Structure 1
Amino acid sequence: MRRKFLFLVADGMGGWPGELDAATAMEAAATPVMDAMARKGLVGLARTIPPGMPPGSDVANMALLGFDPASHHTGRGPIEAAAQGLELAEDDLVWRCNLVSVTDYSAGGLMLDYSSGHITTEQSRPLIQALDEYCAKCSDEFAPFRFYPGVQYRHLLVQRGAASLPEAKLPIRPPHDITDQPIAQDLDAYRSSPLLWSLTRCAARFLEGSGNATKANAIWPWGQGRALTLPGFEQAFGMKGAVISAVDLIKGLGRAAGMEVIDVEGATGLLETNYEGKVRAAMDFLKHGDFAFVHLEGPDECGHGGDAKGKAEAVARFDSRVAAPLLEAFPDAVFLVTCDHLTPIAKRTHVNDPVPFVLFGRGVAQNGATAFSEAQAASTGLLVDEGHTLLAWALKQAGMP
């Protein structure tokens, strides 16, 4: 019987010393299962962000799945469009579109919350649908734009026929990178496109209306690009694979690579999520599949929120409620455990530092780590410098063709 491969990813799990006293959240968290894997397996660092690319989950998770972002990445919006199965023309421009909270949608405004208080999907979907209808009625000039509702604060804006226009290169910062910071430079970028500037102001007026009881008072289009295409995962790696995640970003990567995309009821992308449902989904898939990519968003959300204790708790739950039951269910499987990028509490956003990983399974050599942490990973001297080669390297180390 073919061995199973479980790739467990705790988004943003890594950090810097000083998150909790002198320790990182990983070091402070109770992680007996991952520590045991580290003592018996290969521990090292992987550089998931290619030089010159932004340290986003879109870039990093594409690399973890074995695809070179320098060759395949077109933007965050297109990945999430793939998750929704949107039909896109070659010249369409796809934006990720956050519902955000700002002090004021003007040059003097600050970004208060990239998630509008973690607005729920039940609140946000009708809001985006109503916004789409409102803008369509507002002016004929908005005809190239369509809003598509997603999950929680994460939505899409498609600008038809704009992939070759200057808008495709506008340098809009991810809103989670600029919490409590001025938004003037981004509004200047929007303003350079009169049509986009008009649309965002129209949306702000709509969201300020009396019918909106949420904290969302502006939209934030960013991460724009052409439609995404990826090679087939099974053809590339010889394994039938699935992705299990609460976020459209991971689902989009999986769908674009021809993998099975498994939705789990109650998976939120937050600290409180359906851990057991994700574990069951992986177990069920591996009855007939070979490779499960199980992704947890909670540590990253806590990192963006500056919540060190919450981040450590998210890491501990990842260990006890994901890694532990999966290891018990698949003792002969190969496990690769890592994060996509670091989200240090001091920064409250992503950085491009190499990420710690542990490879564990029968036949995998040990290299002297005593626990699973950033410092232990650095101490082994093992570095996979091109993150998109990590999966193929791991398969080779485990003796899997």
Structure 2
Amino acid sequence: MRRKFLFLVADGMGGWPGELGKATAMEAASTPVMDQMAREGLSGLARTIPPGMPPGSDVANMALLGFDPARHHTGRGPIEAAAQGLQLADDDLVWRCNVVSVSSYAPGGLMLDYSSGHISTEQSRPLVEGLNRDCSSCSGPGARFRLLPGVQYRHLLVQPGAASSPEARLAIRPPHDITGQPIDQDLEALAAIPHLRALCQEAAERLAAPGNTTKANAIWPWGQGRALKLPGFEAGTGLRGAVISAVDLIKGLGRAAGMEVLDVEGATGLLDTNYEGKVRAAVDFLQHGDFAFVHLEGPDECGHGGDAPGKAEAIARFDARVVAPLRQAFPEGLFLITCDHLTPIAKRTHVEDPVPFLLYGPGMSGNGAAAFSEAEAAATGLSIDPGHTLLEFALAKGGLR
């Protein structure tokens, strides 16, 4: 039987010293299983963010799956459209569209919460459906936009035929990058596209109407681009693969690459996610498949929230409730464990620093790491750059090439 490949990703797990005392959250977290695997396997750093590209999960996870973002990345919105199986024309422009909380949707306003208090899908879906129905630029003949509901705070805005329009080049900052900061810069950018600015203004006015009991009081389009097209994962690797995540962008990458996308009930993308359900989905798939990409969002969400103890707890749960049972279930498996990018508590957003990784499997020997952490991985001297070659490196070292 072919060796099973388990690629385990704790989103935003890495950070900077000083998150808890002098330590990073990775160093402070209880991770006995990953520490042992790091001692017995290979540890190093991988540069998942190509020079000049934004340090987003879309770019980084595309690289982890072996695709060069500089060649294939078209935007965050198109990846999430792929997750929904949305059929786009080649000249459509698709945006990621958050429902957010701002102090005021006007000059001088601040970005209070990129997730509207981690609004639930049950709360956000009727809001977005209502905006699509009622806003003057949406739905009906001649509509400029379509607002499509997604998961929690993550939704889509589609502009038919606009892929070559001026708004395709519009620079709106990701809302999770500007928590607590003024939104004037983004409103000024939107003003260059009057019909898009008008849509956002009308949406803010409608969300302010009585009856909306959520924290969502504005929409935030960003990460726009043309439809995503990726080469087949199985054709490139020889492995039948699946992705397991609560996050649409991971599902979109998997679906665009022809992988199976496994939904897990109770997978929230937060600290309370259904860890056991994700493990069970991976185990079940690997009875007939070869490669499972298991993604946990919790550390990243805690990083954005400035919650250092929560981030350490998310990493400890990843070790105890994902890594440990999967290692027990597949003692002969090949394990690649990493994060997509760092989300330092001090920044509360992503940075482009290289990420620590460990590669573990039968027949491997350690390369000097005493534990799994940013500093220990760096000290080995092993560096994978560009990061989209990490998967090929792991396949070769693991005997799957």
Structure 1 segment 1-150 matched on structure 2, within 5 A: 1-136=1-136, 143-150=143-150
SS at structure 2 position matched to 1:377: helix
Counterparts of 1:135 and 1:164, CA distance in 2: 24
Counterparts of 1:142 and 1:307, CA distance in 2: 46
The AA in structure 2 aligned to 1:282 is: A
Is 1:348 matched up with 2:348?
Answer: yes
Gaps of 5+ in 1: none
Please report how far the alpha carbon of residue 365 of structure 1 lies from its aligned counterpart in structure 2 after TM superposition: 3.3
Counterparts of 1:393 and 1:50, CA distance in 2: 17
Q: State the partner residue of 1:338.
A: 338
Counterparts of 2:370 and 2:94, CA distance in 1: 45
SS at structure 2 position matched to 1:95: strand
Counterparts of 1:377 and 1:105, CA distance in 2: 44
Counterparts of 1:142 and 1:369, CA distance in 2: 60
Counterpart contact for 1:242–1:291, Cα < 8 Å: yes
1:377–1:138 CA distance, 2 compared to 1 (3 A): closer
Q: State the partner residue of 1:400.
A: 400
Q: State the partner residue of 1:247.
A: 247
1:334–1:144 CA distance, 2 compared to 1 (3 A): same
Q: State the partner residue of 1:294.
A: 294
Q: State the partner residue of 1:178.
A: 178
Range with bigger deviation, 140-149 or 292-301 = 140-149
Structure 1 segment 238-277 matched on structure 2, within 5 A: 238-277=238-277
Q: State the partner residue of 1:360.
A: 360
What is the TM-score of this pair, normalised by structure 2?
0.99
The AA in structure 2 aligned to 1:325 is: P
SS at structure 1 position matched to 2:16: coil
Counterpart contact for 2:139–2:146, Cα < 8 Å: no
Q: Runs of 4+ in structure 1 displaced over 3 angstroms? A: 136-142
Q: State the partner residue of 1:203.
A: 203
Counterparts of 1:110 and 1:134, CA distance in 2: 26
1:362–1:75 CA distance, 2 compared to 1 (3 A): same
SS at structure 2 position matched to 1:294: strand
Counterpart contact for 2:234–2:241, Cα < 8 Å: yes
Counterparts of 2:160 and 2:135, CA distance in 1: 15
The AA in structure 1 aligned to 2:333 is: A
The AA in structure 2 aligned to 1:329 is: A
1:92-132 deviation per Cα after TM superposition (whole angstroms, max 9, x unaligned)? 00000000000000111000000000000000011110110
Counterpart contact for 1:136–1:142, Cα < 8 Å: no
Please report how far the alpha carbon of residue 23 of structure 1 lies from its aligned counterpart in structure 2 after TM superposition: 0.2
1:137–1:343 CA distance, 2 compared to 1 (3 A): closer
1:271-307 deviation per Cα after TM superposition (whole angstroms, max 9, x unaligned)? 0110000000000000000000000000000000000
Range with bigger deviation, 225-234 or 361-370 = 361-370
Counterparts of 1:368 and 1:138, CA distance in 2: 58
SS at structure 2 position matched to 1:133: helix
Counterparts of 1:211 and 1:73, CA distance in 2: 39
Please report how far the alpha carbon of residue 211 of structure 1 lies from its aligned counterpart in structure 2 after TM superposition: 1.8
SS at structure 1 position matched to 2:135: helix
Counterpart contact for 2:19–2:345, Cα < 8 Å: yes
Counterpart contact for 1:275–1:321, Cα < 8 Å: yes
1:172-195 deviation per Cα after TM superposition (whole angstroms, max 9, x unaligned)? 000000000000000111110011
The AA in structure 2 aligned to 1:216 is: A
1:21-61 deviation per Cα after TM superposition (whole angstroms, max 9, x unaligned)? 00000000000000000000000000000000000000000
Counterparts of 1:216 and 1:202, CA distance in 2: 14
Counterparts of 1:148 and 1:263, CA distance in 2: 20
Counterparts of 1:198 and 1:337, CA distance in 2: 45
SS at structure 2 position matched to 1:143: coil
SS at structure 2 position matched to 1:206: helix
Counterparts of 2:113 and 2:100, CA distance in 1: 6
Gaps of 5+ in 2: none
Q: State the partner residue of 1:312.
A: 312
Instruction: State the identity as a percent.
Output: 77
Counterparts of 1:23 and 1:159, CA distance in 2: 46
Alpha-carbon RMSD across the aligned residues, in angstroms, is 1.1
The AA in structure 2 aligned to 1:369 is: A
The AA in structure 1 aligned to 2:370 is: T
Counterpart contact for 2:137–2:144, Cα < 8 Å: no
What number of residue pairs does the alignment pair up?
401
Counterparts of 2:233 and 2:273, CA distance in 1: 27
Range with bigger deviation, 153-162 or 142-151 = 142-151
Please report how far the alpha carbon of residue 385 of structure 1 lies from its aligned counterpart in structure 2 after TM superposition: 1.0
Counterpart contact for 2:9–2:339, Cα < 8 Å: yes
